[in-house]
Structure 1
Amino acid sequence: MKKILYTLSLIALSLSSHTQTPFDYEKSTGYSGNNIPSLVYKDDSFNFLVMGDFGRVGDYYQRDVAREMGNAMVVLDGEFVVSVGDNFYPNGVASTQDYHWISSFESIYTNPSLYADWYVALGNHDYLGNVQAQVDYTKVSRRWNMPDRYYSKEFKLDNGEKVLLVVMDTNPFIDGYQKSSKYGDLREQDTAKQMKWLEETLGKADKSIQWKIVVGHHPMYSGGKRKTNKDTQGFEQKFADFFDKHKVDAYICGHEHDLQIIKPKDRYTTQFLSGAASEVRPSGEMEHTIFAAAEPGFMTFSILDKELTVQVVKADKEDAKVLYTHTIKKDK
C-alpha cells in the first residue's frame, strides 16, 4: 500500500524542514500530475472519491473532472472511487464488449491512481441498456466492481473499527419508472427482496461498524431541477425514515447534474449529491440546503477517528479547487 511507502519516506526525510504529504512523495518519484493546494489531507485518514452521471465519451466536462479526480486520489492517497450511477449515456451499454467501455471509461480515467477499486451503482440511463453487462464487467475489469445490482462492502479502519458501504439499486423504487416499458427489466426487480436485504445489512449487530454509508442514484431531496418532482418526493417518503432508523451517516447520490449537500434539521442522515462528473445543469436551493453549486466536479470523503469530512471539488480547464467542506462529527 502507498501508505507504507509514504511512512518510509517520512522516516528517510525526517531531517526535512516540512512534513511530506502523499503528493510530495509521488512527485519526488516522477508523478506528472498537479497538486490541488486547497484539498486538505490529514495523516492516517481513510479517503475515497465520489462522482456520478459521467459516461459521455469524454465530452462536456468529463475529461477535466477525470484529470482532477486522478490528482485528488494522489493528494489524499485515496482508497477507492464510488460512482452513483448513470455510468453510460444515453442508453447504457449493450454488452461487455460495447465500445462505450473504452470511450467513456477506460480511455478517460487513465491516471494511475484511478486504477484503484471502483464501487459502482446503477442509474436510470443504465437501465436503458444491458444492466447485466455492467454486472458482468466486474469479471473483465480489475477496477470495476458491481457484483450484483445491489451489494455491500466493509472496510477496516486503522483504529480497528469499520466503514459499511451499501450500494443499492434505487431504480425499481421510482414509481414513475414502473409505469414505463423503456427501462429494460426494471419492473421485474423485486423491491421487497431488496428492502429485506437493506434491513438485514444495515441492521446487523456489529458494534465495530462506526460509519454507515449508503450509495444510490436517486436523491431524497434536491434544490435543483427535480426539487418538486413526484419521484423525488416519493423516494424521500420511502427512505428518509428508514435511513434515520438505521443511523445511516451519509446517503450518497446523483441524478441531478450538480453538487449539493442537504440535511433536514430533524434528520440523522446527511445527503451528498455528486452528479456533476460530465454534464452540468443549473442548481438551486431548498429549505434544508447546506451547499449547492452548478459546477463540474466531485466530492472527496475522509474519515479520521470520529469525523467524516467531505470536500466538494470543482474541476476547471487547467486545475481544481475546493468549493466547500462539510464535517460530520460523532460523539466521543
Structure 2
Amino acid sequence: MLIRGFMLLVLSVFTLHLGAKQLHDEKYYQTHQVQNLAVPDDSLHFLVLGDWGRNGHYQQVPVADMMDVVMYQMDGEFITTTGDNFYSKGVASVDDPYWQTSFEQVYHGPNLFKDWYPTLGNHDYAGNWQAQIDYTQRSRRWVFPAPYYAKTFAAGDNSQVLILFIDSNPLNPEYKTRAKYASTQTQDSEKQLRWMKEKLANSTAKWNIVIGHHPLYSSGKRYGKTSGIQQVLEPIFEKHKIDAYFAGHEHDLQHNRAQGKTVEHFVSGAGSELRPVGQREFTQFAKSEAGFLTVSVNDNNLLVQFISAVGQRIYHYNIHKD
C-alpha cells in the first residue's frame, strides 16, 4: 500500500508538472510571436533555412528557436534547406554524433517535428553525402530520398506547387576542375539537367519553385563570381518561367532580381554564421542578419517573408498571379 501510494503521488506530481509545462509553452508561443508576420488564409506555409549545421555555434540556436515559434504561428507544413547542412565537412555516417549535436538537439522544438526536405551544399560533399540520404531511414522527419527530387503540394483551393529540390554542386562549372570539389563530380550532371527540363516542361502546377545551394546572383561575398552556375541554370529557369529560385551558400539573406529577367532569386543562408553583404545593381534586399525565410502560397499569391533570429519581419515580397 505504501509503494502504491507513493507511485500515485509521483504520478500526480508529474501530471501537474506536465500540465503546468503545457500552459507555460502555450503562453511562451503567444508572447514570442512575430508581431507583423502575415499568415494568409488557405495557404501552404513552409520555411527555408540555409547554411546552418554548426553544432549549435554562432546563431544556430536562436534561429532554431525562432523557427519553432514561427512554425507554431503559421501552422507550417514543412521545412526546406538550401544546403550546407553540416559544417565544415558534412557527416561521416548515419551514426555520426553530429546528427544529434547539430540537428536533433538543436531543432528540438515541438513545432519543428514536421517534414524536412533538404538539399546538398558543397560542405556536405566534404563528408559522406550518401549518409544524408540514408538518414531518411533513421528519421521520421528527415525526408531526403535522392540528391535531387521533386514534390508537388496542394495550395489554396485549387492550386498546386511543384518544388524541385536540386543538387547544384555537380552542375557548377567551377567545381569541375578543382580537386577540392572532386567528390561533387560523381553525379551525372547532364542526367539531372534533363530531369529538370522534363519536370518543368510537363508541370501542370500553377506555381513552380526550385531550391538549390548555389545562387545565380549574389549581393554578398561571391558578387561577380556566380556566372558559371548562372549560365547553366538561368536559361532553364527563364524558359520555363519558374516563379522563384531559393539558394544558400552566401551567409546572409537576399532578394535579387536581374534587369530584364522574370525569375525572383532569394538567398537564405543565414542559419548560423554570417558574412557582410552589399547593395548591387540587382539587389532588392540584402542583410547580414541571422534568420530564415517563410513562404506562403495560395491560389493567387506567393508571399516570401524574411524573419530574423530575434523575431522581426525584416523584409517581405509578394508574387501575384490571377
Q: Please report the TM-score for the alignment, with normalisation by the length of structure 1.
A: 0.87
Q: Residues 158 and 299 of structure 2 are in contact (CA less than 8 Å); yes or no, is this contact kept in structure 1?
A: no
Who is 1:300 aligned against? 294
Give yes or no for the alignment of 1:218 onto 2:214.
yes
Shift of 1:228: 1.5
Q: Residues 290 and 308 of structure 2 are in contact (CA less than 8 Å); yes or no, is this contact kept in structure 1?
A: yes
Give yes or no for the alignment of 1:66 onto 2:53.
no
Within 5 Å, give how 1:282-297 maps onto structure 2: 282-297=276-291
| Unaligned segments of structure 2, at least 5 residues | 1-21
Who is 2:312 aligned against? 321
Within 5 Å, give how 1:158-173 maps onto structure 2: 158-173=156-171
CA distance in 2, matches of 1:125, 1:191: 18
Gap change, CA 1:222 and 1:69, over 3 Å in 2: same
CA distance in 2, matches of 1:263, 1:62: 28
Q: Secondary structure at the match of 1:144?
A: coil
Residue type at the aligned position of 1:225: K
Shift of 1:177: 1.5
Q: Which moved more, 1:197-206 or 1:81-90?
A: 197-206
Within 5 Å, give how 1:136-285 maps onto structure 2: 136-183=134-181, 185-206=183-204, 209-229=205-225, 232-285=226-279
CA distance in 2, matches of 1:238, 1:296: 29
Say how many residue pairs are matched: 299
Q: Secondary structure at the match of 1:32?
A: helix
Shift of 1:188: 2.1
Q: Which moved more, 1:128-137 or 1:297-306?
A: 297-306
Who is 1:3 aligned against? none
Gap change, CA 1:205 and 1:271, over 3 Å in 2: closer
Q: Secondary structure at the match of 2:179?
A: coil
CA distance in 1, matches of 2:216, 2:26: 44
Larger radius of gyration: 2
Residue type at the aligned position of 1:103: T
Q: Residues 129 and 184 of structure 1 are in contact (CA less than 8 Å); yes or no, is this contact kept in structure 2?
A: no
Identity of aligned residues (%): 45
Gap change, CA 1:29 and 1:158, over 3 Å in 2: farther
Structure with the largest fraction of helix: 2
Shift of 1:301: 0.5
| Unaligned segments of structure 1, at least 5 residues | 1-25
Shift of 1:184: 5.5
Q: Provide Cα deviations, 1:86-124, integer angstroms capped at 9, x if missing partner.
A: 000010000000011000000000111100011100000
Residue type at the aligned position of 2:315: Y
Q: Residues 176 and 182 of structure 2 are in contact (CA less than 8 Å); yes or no, is this contact kept in structure 1?
A: no
Q: Residues 128 and 184 of structure 1 are in contact (CA less than 8 Å); yes or no, is this contact kept in structure 2?
A: no
RMSD over equivalenced CA pairs, Å: 1.5
Q: Residues 94 and 133 of structure 1 are in contact (CA less than 8 Å); yes or no, is this contact kept in structure 2?
A: yes
Q: Please report the TM-score for the alignment, with normalisation by the length of structure 2.
A: 0.90
